[in-house]
Structure 1
């Protein structure tokens, strides 16, 4: 894991993400790319187009760079190579562009947690990053001074669509010496007999060379509750899921996961694109 991208809006939630990124970086000797997207008011953009407000624009840029400098010198980042970027662009486009340019391995983003996915760092733009990013995205809900990924839950229907995301998860798990918990959530609306789930699970795990895992079947009223309650029951460190570029989240969520999962899951969420 050579480079970790941390987009920041200078909020406390963004700093929570940066602190976790710092822990990951120290463990893997990674570089952190600290990115601030500078979105100017529409009237300022119009003025820039006309060439009338370049001094004001430079002032915004100068202030953003000064803030990044101050953040980069915080004690918890000691010993980590930091690259600071201030970019004038729409967040989703800028984050995607920087991710490709710097060959980012992991994006770490902050979230307001229980306030919902629309309240993620830089608003609904983060939901777009989670949905569309080809790179794994780790969403941090709260301050986590001792981040661990020792126990990771991977909730899925274990279809062929999940093969590639699971392969990416295995690389992450090996870095952290993680134990994986593959869980299939059974609900009244998505019920399968145990013997059928066990057959699907056995077929799925046979495709991969990874032994530090357990398989589970968990019954609950809905998928959201099942993932959260199961994760809490084993005291998982991270919840992992697939995302789908067209519709948002994994196929087994019938096209889109309930926003309630992000609203209510306090644990870090790690996403991999299908």
Structure 2
């Protein structure tokens, strides 16, 4: 059985993403590990020598009580969706969120991360903030990112961005497996820029190799990669977009603040980021 790490702060954003995590777990036959993290404040023991330990203990207990009280609410959501048979475990960790995510991935042998993002602000702070480099380079498992307004609906069309690299087939195999369980179709996009090095023969060989799979290939010539992806989401009615994170520079360029805002406002869909080494 696979494992999904679900970081949560029990906000509306996280609760919305939890529904997606449940449905995703059901599709990939996974258990969910709920992760709640908190940061202890910096307290100078020079001024609070006697109460130093008590301050930290009281914060930890408060966090534990909140964690304990919120878990039944999430289980109730699972029962309501008739997904209460999905196994769930819990982790409460203090420290930096991104550091704890990476630590939990390693210790729990995580296969996927599902995380809510609060519109354009959440996208920008999570992907493009000071920790962006460590997140993208540090997390080596696929991550499903769910905007606050992306209410769960049956996935009928999955988008897949590619550069027709051999390693992309590993990710496409994963996406096709999920698509078949969802009875969905995959629409694969390649944006051919003026500097593209993919030959027509390579594209044709992919089309022939996947001729019997539920996937269509689209090649669009343009140097405006971001605009093409936005149009692709809209006009091909994509329900979930898969983006391959070849390297940090490519990913940052795609998920820049202006593009993210457009996606959040006009195309509230989850994005599955799959790292490609």
- TM-score interval, smaller chain: 0.7 to 0.9
Aligned-pair RMSD on alpha carbons?
A: 3.2
Residue number in structure 2 paired with 1:95: 101
Gap runs ≥5 in structure 2: none
Decide whether the 8 Å contact of 1:4 with 1:106 is kept in 2.
Answer: yes
**Matches of 2:179 and 2:115 in 1, distance apart?**
19
In the superposition, relative to structure 1, how do residues 197 and 68 fare at CA in structure 2: closer, same or farther (>3 Å)?
A: farther
Residue number in structure 2 paired with 1:71: 70
In the superposition, relative to structure 1, how do residues 210 and 15 fare at CA in structure 2: closer, same or farther (>3 Å)?
A: farther
Post-superposition shift, 1:185? Answer: 1.8
Decide whether the 8 Å contact of 1:112 with 1:119 is kept in 2.
Answer: no
In the superposition, relative to structure 1, how do residues 258 and 17 fare at CA in structure 2: closer, same or farther (>3 Å)?
A: closer
Gap runs ≥5 in structure 1: none
Residue number in structure 1 paired with 2:262: 264
Residue number in structure 2 paired with 1:162: 168
SS at match of 1:235: coil
Decide whether the 8 Å contact of 1:218 with 1:230 is kept in 2.
Answer: no
**Matches of 1:25 and 1:135 in 2, distance apart?**
15
Does structure 1 residue 19 correspond to structure 2 residue 25? no
Residue number in structure 2 paired with 1:107: 113
Q: Report the count of equivalent residues.
A: 262
In the superposition, relative to structure 1, how do residues 95 and 116 fare at CA in structure 2: closer, same or farther (>3 Å)?
A: closer
1:1-274 matches, cutoff 5 A = 2-43=2-43, 53-74=52-73, 75-78=76-79, 79=84, 80-115=86-121, 117-120=123-126, 125=131, 128-186=134-192, 189-190=194-195, 198-204=200-206, 211-219=213-221, 222-244=224-246, 247-249=248-250, 256-259=253-256, 260-265=258-263, 266-274=268-276
Decide whether the 8 Å contact of 2:207 with 2:217 is kept in 1.
Answer: no
- Which TM-score applies when normalising by structure 1? 0.80
In the superposition, relative to structure 1, how do residues 197 and 51 fare at CA in structure 2: closer, same or farther (>3 Å)?
A: farther
Decide whether the 8 Å contact of 1:131 with 1:244 is kept in 2.
Answer: no
- Which TM-score applies when normalising by structure 2? 0.79
